[in-house]
């Protein structure tokens, strides 16, 4: 999936999650959530790069407090931006941490209703890049070391060896953990209630995953009068529009996932 579509959405959701972090209640769930994150990103280059960034900035020390976790994600975000700039991508200058802190604290102060849910593009892109779909079949990067020399799943992920079935297990865990870390208690409660009967079979295919996530989205938007609005048809159209096809590419030098079609957007 084109990172220009889901990247800003994902960062907004993740930053909000960290600025609402309650260590006494969420430490274990938050640890698992961020450890799983590299395995579910809808771009193989992003998955590989995030593994590298985690080696420089592991999440465990950051879980000590809200302050340390928010600063950790800010630093991770800056590493991602710096990587893109080094590849010739146009990336705005990173704001100071104080400005980011002020923005998200104000955003959280608005409350949980009659506002925007920040992560739909990100979450639906995870669904669209379903690890069991043919387009997501792992193709190791050309400069990858021999598979037998890699000992951990993170190493296999980093070089795009990790099987779709293995990544699928992480995706299932991601959907189970998400309602534990969302930034508002009301969002967490409604999400848990709507998905209480979800199981591995719910996420087994892209189609069933899409239906389940759409059902959850509509319920939360209606219950809390959220301002996100679209139709199922337009959502599917948008997801198709931003498909990048990078799952079929092997070029390690490719900068990030970008859609290939040059047609004008019509929605």
Give pLDDT tens digits for 63-72. 999 999 999 9
Residue 134: the pLDDT is: 87
Query: Would you kindly state where each structural domain of the chain is located, as residue ranges?
Result: 3-244
Range 3-244 classified under CATH 1.20.120.310? yes
Instruction: Compute CA distances 186 → 136, 192, 215, 221, whole Å.
Output: 34, 10, 17, 12
pLDDT at 263: 38
DSSP the chain: --HHHHHHHHHHHHHHHHHT--HHHHHHHHHHHHHHHHHH-S-HHHHHHHHHHHHHS-SGGGGG-HHHHHHHHHHHHHHHHHHHHHTT---PPPPPHHHHHHHHHHHHHT-SSSS--TTHHHHHHHHHT-TTSGGG-----TTPPPGGG--SHHHHHHTT---HHHHHHHHHHHHHHHHHH-SSHHHHHHHHHHTTT--GGGGSSHHHHHHHHHHHHHHHHHHHT-S----HHHHHHHHHHT---GGG---TT--S------PPP--
pLDDT tens by residue, 166-184: 999 999 999 999 999 999 9
Cα gap 108→11, rounded to integer Å:
15
pLDDT value, residue 264: 37
Q: What are φ and ψ of residue 254, in 5° steps?
A: -60, 135
Reported pTM: 0.92
> 141, 250 in Cβ contact below 8 A?
yes
Give the pLDDT confidence score for residue 258 in this predicted structure: 60
**What does the CA dihedral 254, 170, 205, 248 come to, rounded to 10 degrees?**
20
Residues of the chain below pLDDT 70: 245-267
Instruction: Compute the C-alpha angle 102/106/107, nearest 5°.
Output: 115
């Amino acid at each position: 999936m084109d990172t220009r579509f889901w990247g800003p959405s994902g960062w907004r959701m993740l930053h909000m999650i960290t600025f609402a972090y309650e260590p006494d209640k969420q430490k274990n769930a938050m640890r698992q959530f961020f450890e799983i994150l590299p395995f579910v990103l809808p771009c193989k280059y992003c998955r590989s790069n995030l593994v590298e960034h985690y080696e420089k900035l592991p999440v465990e020390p950051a879980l000590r407090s809200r302050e340390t976790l928010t600063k950790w994600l800010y630093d991770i975000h800056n590493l991602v931006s710096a990587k893109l700039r080094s590849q010739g991508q146009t990336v705005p200058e990173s704001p100071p941490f104080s400005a980011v802190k002020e923005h998200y604290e104000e955003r959280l102060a608005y409350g949980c209703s009659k506002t925007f849910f920040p992560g739909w593009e990100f979450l639906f892109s995870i669904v669209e890049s379903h690890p069991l779909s043919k387009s997501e079949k792992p193709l190791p990067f050309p400069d990858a070391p021999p598979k037998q020399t890699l000992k951990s799943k993170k190493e296999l992920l980093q070089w795009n060896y990790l099987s779709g079935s293995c990544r699928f297990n992480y995706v299932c865990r991601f959907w189970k953990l998400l309602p534990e870390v969302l930034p508002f208690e009301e969002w967490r409660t409604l999400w848990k209630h709507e998905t209480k009967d979800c199981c591995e079979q719910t996420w087994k295919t892209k189609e069933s995953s899409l239906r389940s996530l759409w059902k959850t989205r509509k319920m939360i938007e209606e219950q809390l009068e959220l301002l996100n609005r679209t139709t199922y048809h337009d959502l599917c159209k948008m997801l198709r529009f931003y498909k990048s096809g990078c799952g079929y590419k092997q070029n390690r030098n490719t900068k990030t996932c970008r859609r290939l079609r040059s047609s004008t957007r019509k929605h």
